[in-house]
Structure 1
Amino acid sequence: MKIAFYGSSLLSSYWNGAATYYRGILRDLAGRGYQITFYEPDAFDRQQHRDIDPPEWARSVVYPATEEAMRGVLAEAGEADIVVKANGVGVFDRELLEGVIDQARPDALRIFWDVDAAATLDEMRADASHPVLKALPNLDMVLTYGGGPPVIDAYRGFGAADCVPVYNALDPSTHHPVDPDPRFACDLAFLGNRLPDREARVEEFFLKPAALLAERQFLIGGNGWETKGMPGNVRHRGHVYTTEHNAFNCTPLAVLNVARDSMANIGFSPATRVFEAAGAAACLITDAWEGIDLFLKPDEEVLVARDGQDVADHLASLTPERAKAIGEAALARVMAEHTYRLRGAQVDQVFKAHFARAREAA
């Protein structure tokens, strides 16, 4: 089967945290026989900060961020059996969503794949003319990368025919333990772009512990933090390419995960970074959110913090031996239950079930 996938970027993680999620799932689907074309706009300097070359397992189409070029790639949607519009492309999101519905064949599976479901649902609650809300009657299903029962119920309440969470996971071929790198040496590291709905939580869970533990060393990676005032024991690394993520996770005593406001509020939404860190056998400290125990066991496979004081307390009592034990336990858990091979199998079954139902109806 052919998949036409319209998303932010497959080739670059620059201001695009969904890149590794797309790669993990689509690479596995390609191994199952799907022919994938990924359409991404040349926008936000992503093409100047590529992490990978166009892969063998997908046809990569990078188009100029113009309306004419966008219309051109939409014209190819009619060749696919499965047409996917992901949220957060950043340019022409409304037009792309409307276009994949209009251009897809009548027998094609039409999907909206939401990698920021909590935020999208908040927008729909506030705007009766939201493009996703208007598109739901013409979509066969919504896939999300998190959210659990609250997101499923909310999307179905808005009229989605079906909503299936497909969680982030680990690709062990790209994220795995490596030797420490002195560039990332510190006691606690955090990796994430500076975003309005994340910044206050970073202040609480990262900068506050840094201020409380002046004798410890902290490292922050990601875009946008250059102008942020920080304690003197915090170093800013800037953009960290995905090829550097393993060393970034393996080197510190511990790494921190901080959910965005919307994800933390709705729960059941582990970030890609959670599985990347666990895959590198890092000792992970995460802010508290509902559903964490479905993915990693608190105190044994992950350390959970309710606030910045908890982060500081965890770090103050953490020994290298305990950090190593937690990281190794997390790696074993995600290898057994949370790989993209398993997520790909899930998506494959979702697709096959849809077409089986369509054949029966016909």
Structure 2
Amino acid sequence: EMKAAASVCAQCPVGCNLTFDTRREAKSGGKVVIKRVLPRQNEGVNEIWICDKGRFAYHYTESTDRLTKPLLRKDGKLSPVAWEKAIEEIGRQVESRQVESKQVESKQGGVVVLASGRLSNEDLFNLKQLADGLGGEALLYTHMGGGEWTTAYGVAAGTNFADMGKGTTILVVASDLYNEAPVWYLRLKQAAKRGAALILANVRETKLERYSRFVIRYSYGDEAETVNGLTKKDKIGEAITGAENLLILYGSDGLGLDGSSALAAACAELVKDRAGKPNNGLIGVWPHANDQGAWELGFKPVSDLKAVFKKAKAVYIVGADPLGDNPELASRWSADLSPHSRPSPSRWSADLSPHSRPSPSRWSADLSPHSRPSPS
């Protein structure tokens, strides 16, 4: 009675392979609903495990508040419209705000595409093409930086936590993997039991510390300086420089965009000479499933969205809610940007129906967790 669809978890950057069991139900108005989520074996990513969040956090798909058709604002009210009408209006609004050639070349004051790592590579590629074609900017909605370093010095093909043990050193800094990426927590725990030297650096205690060989405490703001000084410590320095394999996972615990970017740069210095070697490199513990894919496709974050919104002639927001996430930004938007002089994104953007998104069964089970799309 149920139909199985292979997919990839969208809750964190691990990219666990899973299966959605779905069924069309009368009590749901004849809609297809998810009945359960099961792990799907992939020894290179999640083995046969998924965490509780990946198993149970799918009910948002059943929310009555979820948009399933385009809405167009007219006379201050949002009303459903046909897809053709929505697309036509978006095109008209964007075209009417096309900047002069001089502005296009400088990529300032034109069209801005703001997307998040919740999107698939396919969507992000198309959005980047749109931004480039309009001479605009492709921006990533995130508070975590350093993607240029993970792109340059990320782990190579063939990397597998199952192969890590004696001779491998793993550094985790500014991240609580137990809560942020639980399957990585389990796999590092297993690696430590096989003999890997696990180094934990954080401002606070985390559950992974019970399996670590070294624990480092620092104050907020000292993350990059702490990493820069690791090789100067006797035992820790020896564990890093003398390791056959060196893997570093960095996060954004207590950091903003600038702080996490500085931390990533410091971590990259430790692994850059090992680039291209399996089981070596830099991994970002990103807040969204496909932030890494967005970085690699050319999206870049910005620290001052207010300035971007104020300067842009048109803003296309996809898979993000910057005003909902930031009340201060929302109040500034209302106070500083007149609706008659600046287009609110909701006036001309359409939220895609879940039925128009790529089917999870189209996605391959064997691709890297950093390159897979989010089902949402």
TM norm. shorter chain > 0.5: no
Point out the structure with the larger helix share: 1
TM-score interval, smaller chain: under 0.3
What TM-score comes out, normalization by structure 2 length? Answer: 0.25
User: Structure 1-normalised TM-score?
Assistant: 0.25
